Amino acid sequence: MNIYDIAQKSGVSIATVSRVINGGRSVSPKTQETVLRVIQEAGYTPNAFARGLGLNTMRQIGLLVSDVADTYYANEVAMLEKALRKAGFDVLLRCTGTETDKKKETLAQMLKRHVDAVILVGSSMQEQDDNSHILEAAEQIPVILVNGCVKGKNIICVRCDEMEGVRCCVRDMCSSGCRSLLFFYHTLSFSCRQKLKGFQLGLKECQEKGTPAKGSDVCIPGGFDEIMASAENYLREHPADGIIGADDMTAVAVQKATQKLGQMVPLVGINNSILSKAATPAISSIDNMAETMCTTAIKNLLDLFDGKRVPEDTVVSPEFIERESFVRKSVCGQEELQ
């Protein structure tokens, strides 16, 4: 049993439980008696998070990200760090890499530093199968996932509906005349799996509407140069008339490959990062609303610290940013496929 269970069983907020643990300041004798009785029955030992709430001594949040050199993740880290410092918290940043064991080890180390909460930045912090280490961490302190989704007590998820964004993008491409679509990706994170579902769903809807569209997904591991070279080889044998990259970096690499082959293919990226704007021609991109996700994550965390109820899973809607690489002839949800 943790501080959240104590609060629920006592019928009070976690902030009230914390005040009782730290001396009963501004708490009525009746409420204090109720909380102490529940604590005694549970054999509960207050952890650093509860002490920090009452004594205001911790004021530190852990940020875990797989790779801060990634342009997209770096942007999210910067937004989160700025908002946390504005709220009076120090930030402890750690890069975990992509290996599951390293992510588990880094999370365990963060708990030993007695941070008040941990924010996992990006869907790469979530495992495809076993997320028991996240569930275990949440037994001690709040865990916030930015663009991830793990169900469990004391876990707060804020994510973008990227599946819907890609689904609509596929329909827009079909409505604009694309009949052979490709989806390029380089890692199978939670986010990418959602995008793949959207790609498959969009194709199915196009076919059900009588549009003879077909598509394939292509996994190309590696960095920019590897993706560009592999995409060039693939497109030489499998030409397409519509391409979606799982992120803007992949989209730019594929764009370079199509240019080397002399192909002019409608192309869309995802993230709406600086890369999509800097490409030539500029790449249309599905904006997964990183700023909105980060702002919402911090608001939910601060509300939790204040003893307020917060949603376990907040889903924000993506936005299509149209640029030169793909101009829509009709918009998903507004016009039927032709």
Instruction: Evaluate the omega torsion of the peptide bond into residue 281 and state whether it is cis, within 30 degrees of 0.
Output: yes
Evaluate whether 59-160+290-318 and 162-283 have a shared fold. Answer: yes
Using pLDDT thresholds of 50, 70 and 90, give the confidence band for residue 254.
Answer: very high
**Interhelix angle 14-21/48-55, nearest 10 degrees:** 90
Residue 179 has a pLDDT of: 96
Q: How far apart are CA 240 and CA 267, in angstroms?
A: 10
pLDDT average, residue stretch 88-100: 93
pLDDT average, residue stretch 159-164: 98
Residues written for the chain: 338
Output the CATH code of domain 162-283: 3.40.50.2300
Residue 45 has a pLDDT of: 54
Closest CA to 117 of 310, 314, 288, 291: 310
What are the domain boundaries of the chain? 3-53, 59-160+290-318, 162-283
Residue 148 has a pLDDT of: 94
Q: What is the pTM of this model?
A: 0.82
Tell me the three state secondary structure of residue 312. coil
DSSP letters spanning 210-274: T---EEEEEE--S-HHHHHHHHHHHHHHS--SEEEESSHHHHHHHHHHHHHTT----EEEES--H
Tell me the three state secondary structure of residue 323. strand
What does the block give as tokens for 295?
A: 């702002």
Output the CATH code of domain 59-160+290-318: 3.40.50.2300
Fold of 3-53: 434 Repressor (Amino-terminal Domain) (1.10.260)
Is the model's pLDDT at 337 over the cut of 50? Answer: no
Using pLDDT thresholds of 50, 70 and 90, give the confidence band for residue 309.
Answer: confident
